[in-house]
Amino acid sequence: MPIVQISRIQHRRGKKTDLPQLAAGELGWSIDDQRLYIGNGTVADGAPAVGNTEILTAGSSAFTTALQHTYKGYLQQSTPITTSVQRAVASKLDDVVSVKDFGAKGDNSTADLPAIQSAIDAIYRNSDKTDTRSRRILLFPAGTYRINGPLTIPPHAHLVGEGMDKTIIRNSGANTVAVTEDTEGNLFGSITAAPTDIQISNMTIKNSVAHGGVSIDNATNVYFNNVKFEGSYASGGADEANSKGVTVRSTDSLRCSKIVFNQCEFTKFARLVDMSHDVTNVNFVNCDFNTAYYGAFIGGTALDGSSAGRKIGPRDIKFMSNSWDSISQQAIWSKNASGSVFPRNVISSGNWYGKEIGNNFEGIGSLNEVPIIQYDNDECSSVLDFFERTDLRRSDGSSHMNAAPELQGVGIQTKAIKQFTLNNNQSTAATINEYPGLNKKGLLIKYKIERSSSTRTGEMVISSDGTNISHSDDFVEPGGSVGVTLSAVLDDKDSTAGNETIKLQYVTTNTGSAATLDYQATIIA
């Protein structure tokens, strides 16, 4: 039926218990519980039922229920959690804060720098710094957030994306993607208190131009997890001092320390990691390093012992269980630039180094090869690393070039245990393994030989100056002789002066049985 026009609003008011059946369109206000009703009208007029309909207000039970939330668990009403408490929906929504709450789009088009920086500043810098409740996780939903200036990261920042190559912060300006700052917004050179307790995870930090990824300035307790640092460097390019995936900078009073990279990827920067300031306790664990001119470039700028932030050098830098490949020069170079202090305690342990490292992107057998790891200073080591690159491992089994050094400089390399079968009645010296002999190498071979019922345990020392070689073999044989003689000789495979190869060799007597050699080599680089 048509809407009936009335000349005045009809309404009643009183207690809920006194509310009568209202006429069609008549309002009734329940003053004791602050709820509003309207009369349905008759069924004959088209109402679904005779009665009063409650209008949603702040006093309505339905409205109150809609604004409240009780956590019931993953089974919801079927098996509800009964110990949870009721909370306002607005409070529940504030449990998670997103950069989109501040206007960021993540559409790879909108300039998102102002919105993201506003979110970071509001949560971590402009909030109550002494109240831990202000230190929330800032979520970056999946998307590409375009910026053209550096993000500044204050203490206690905790930035979380939805995964590598899902959440991408992409810089297109001539600057680093992100730098650390103090609680007052001061940047490197003016920082008065160390930026601390910073966590960044599950995202890609990308620079579309030849500039850096992240500069960790004066910071302590910094943690990166599942973060991809991606630049614009292409294989075959030259070194570019501004293209650095991660840079660490310190001052005398505020030295960087306690920095962890876990399950991160560093790719397409001229220098994937550059540490030339004072810094201690930096750990790279389960990370991937690829496509660069240098891998980790440590101490490359003058550590003169007097300039601010360069008085002790990088210390206690560990690379553990990482993978490296497609790197033009050294994967790790702990470098002695001009100065009076040097990096210390740089450790590579359990890493995998691919065959395309240190050969100037020219492949295996390049005449421009450099060491995969180079330590120009003491207190450095390589422990149980695996090196895929060597000129002795060719598809045809030949070995017609001198072995390129895996580790060079002032360091020690402990290789994994290997097993080798020593043939019976080997009357002429046969080769067990070959090692680089350039630059006065020293080798220590710990070994065990089993042959029938006889056993030998020994330690062989080999020393070479690149022209001459000497060795000694100290062993015990509790059950009698195993009939094996070990030796070491030099071999100049490619007739290039000074490029020598150390060959570990053996001969055996005729006992009717072959022998099994288990051995581990330690090389004094």
- Rounded Cα gap, residues 300 and 276, in angstroms: 6
- Catalogue all structural domains in the chain, each as residue range(s) with its CATH number: 96-232 (2.160.20.10), 248-414 (no CATH), 419-524 (2.60.40)
pLDDT digits (tens, 9 = 90+) for 202-252: 999 999 999 999 999 999 999 999 999 999 999 888 999 899 999 999 999
Q: Is 68 left (phi over 0), alpha (psi -120 to 50) or beta?
A: beta
Under 8 Å between Cβ of 523 and 412: yes
Q: Give the residue among 436, 345, 256 at the shortest CA–CA distance from 332.
A: 345
pTM of the model: 0.85
- The CA distance from 450 to 185, in Å, is 67
Q: Tens digits of per-residue pLDDT, 406-452? A: 898 888 999 999 999 999 999 999 999 988 876 778 899 999 999 99
| Tens-binned pLDDT, residue by residue, of the chain (525 aa) | 454 555 556 688 889 888 888 888 889 999 888 889 998 888 888 888 888 988 887 777 776 677 788 888 888 878 888 888 888 887 888 888 999 999 999 999 999 999 999 999 999 988 777 788 888 999 999 999 999 999 999 999 999 999 999 999 999 999 999 999 999 999 999 999 999 999 999 999 999 999 999 999 999 999 999 999 999 999 888 999 899 999 999 999 999 999 999 999 999 999 999 998 999 999 999 999 999 999 999 987 767 777 888 888 899 999 999 999 999 999 999 987 666 788 989 999 999 999 899 988 877 666 678 899 999 988 899 999 999 887 554 444 455 566 678 898 888 999 999 999 999 999 999 999 988 876 778 899 999 999 999 999 999 999 988 788 999 999 999 999 999 999 999 887 766 666 678 999 999 999 999 999 999 999 988
Task: Report the run of H or E that residue 489 belongs to, with start and end.
Answer: strand 484-491
Whole-number Å distance between alpha carbons of 138 and 158: 6
Q: How far is CA 57 from CA 29, 69, 199, 230, 316, in A?
A: 11, 18, 44, 53, 64
Is-contact 507 426, C-beta < 8 A?
A: yes
